[in-house]
Amino acid sequence: MPCIRLAALAIVMVAVAGCATQQSPQSALPQNVTLRNKETGATRTVSGAALAIVVAQRETARRNYVGAVRLSSDAIKSGQLTGNDLSLAHAVRGDAYYLGGDAAKARDDWRTAVEINGQNAMALRGMAIISNLQRKVPEAMQYMERAIAASPSNPHLYVTRGLLRLEDRRAGGLAIADFDKAIALRPDLASAYFYRGLANHLNGRFAQAKADYDKALEVNPAESRARQALGLLEQRRAPGANLQPRSRPGEVVQF
């Protein structure tokens, strides 16, 4: 059964602080917006380069990668950002480049983000993806360990590490443990159930795979990969290329 390749993985990491309650028309740098933290209810107003990064993250979620690159580039060039904020801007642009199909530019931005802030989890995760594409598996895992250490409560990081481990059939148990961790952190994360089902499916644990696929559909009826997997499972067929990880805008996350 073929390995799962992370080249198609697009569970990108973004760091939106809250949700926008009002937004001015876009210009080179947006002027003003009020953000509300969904958990605490606290609000704050941002403008200029900081707002451009918030909007760039939203455009990435909408698959407007060209717009996201433009906004984050404007923010970087503005001179308004330093330190961790500048690191975030490069990480966001790296995500947009990667999902837009330019892995080389993504790598450059993610590397710059890590150089500015070695605790930038989304950039570290990006470097793990690049290292995996280059078949530098130990290096990819080191980046993932650093990303998880920097943001241990983010379930999507465990999903990413699980997918890295799933490529090594000898590490299937560790992959499942990562998906278990992601589910424990966020029980409504459909992709974690799907990937855990895929791991079980690849290893011939058909009953467990079916339970996971069913749960993925229960959590998110639009999870078409789980429905397709159930069809293959009924025929007792290996997932193969039909169930490679796909880009899904709903997997763009806030943390």
DSSP label at residue 6: G
- The answer to whether 92 and 56 have CB atoms below 8 angstroms apart is yes
Q: What pTM does this model have?
A: 0.78
The model's pLDDT over 121-162, given as tens digits with 9 standing for 90+, comes to 999 999 999 999 999 999 999 999 999 999 999 999 999 999
Structure tokens at 124: 């570290």
- The answer to whether 94 and 102 have CB atoms below 8 angstroms apart is no
Locate the domains of the chain by residue range.
Answer: 1-16+50-143, 153-255
For residue 24, what pLDDT is reported? 36
Alpha helices in 65-120 (DSSP H): 65-77, 83-99, 103-116
The model's pLDDT over 72-101, given as tens digits with 9 standing for 90+, comes to 999 999 999 999 999 999 999 999 999 999
For residue 94, what pLDDT is reported? 96
- The answer to whether 35 and 46 have CB atoms below 8 angstroms apart is yes
Q: If you average pLDDT over residues 15-34, what whole number do you get?
A: 46
Name the CATH superfamily, with its identifier, for domain 1-16+50-143: Tetratricopeptide repeat domain (1.25.40.10)
Same fold, 1-16+50-143 and 153-255: yes
Written out in words, the top-level CATH class of the domain with range 153-255 is: mainly alpha
- The answer to whether 44 and 26 have CB atoms below 8 angstroms apart is no
Q: How far apart are CA 127 and CA 160, in angstroms?
A: 12
- The answer to whether 111 and 94 have CB atoms below 8 angstroms apart is no
Structure tokens at 103: 């892995």
- Helix or strand (DSSP H, E) at 148: helix 137-150
The model's pLDDT over 32-63, given as tens digits with 9 standing for 90+, comes to 666 566 666 766 666 689 889 989 999 998 99
- The answer to whether 175 and 202 have CB atoms below 8 angstroms apart is no
Strands 33-36 vs 19-23: parallel, antiparallel or unpaired: antiparallel
- Helix or strand (DSSP H, E) at 23: strand 19-23
CA dihedral 92, 191, 104, 80 (to 10 degrees): 0
Q: If you average pLDDT over residues 4-14, what whole number do you get?
A: 38
Q: How far apart are CA 239 and CA 31, in angstroms?
A: 48
* pLDDT higher than threshold 50 for residue 206: yes
Range from 23-27, 155-159, 202-206, 233-237 carrying the lowest mean pLDDT: 23-27
* pLDDT higher than threshold 60 for residue 4: no
Q: At what angle do helices 172-185 and 155-166 cross, to 10 degrees?
A: 170
Q: How far apart are CA 96 and CA 102, in angstroms?
A: 9
Structure tokens at 134: 């280059």
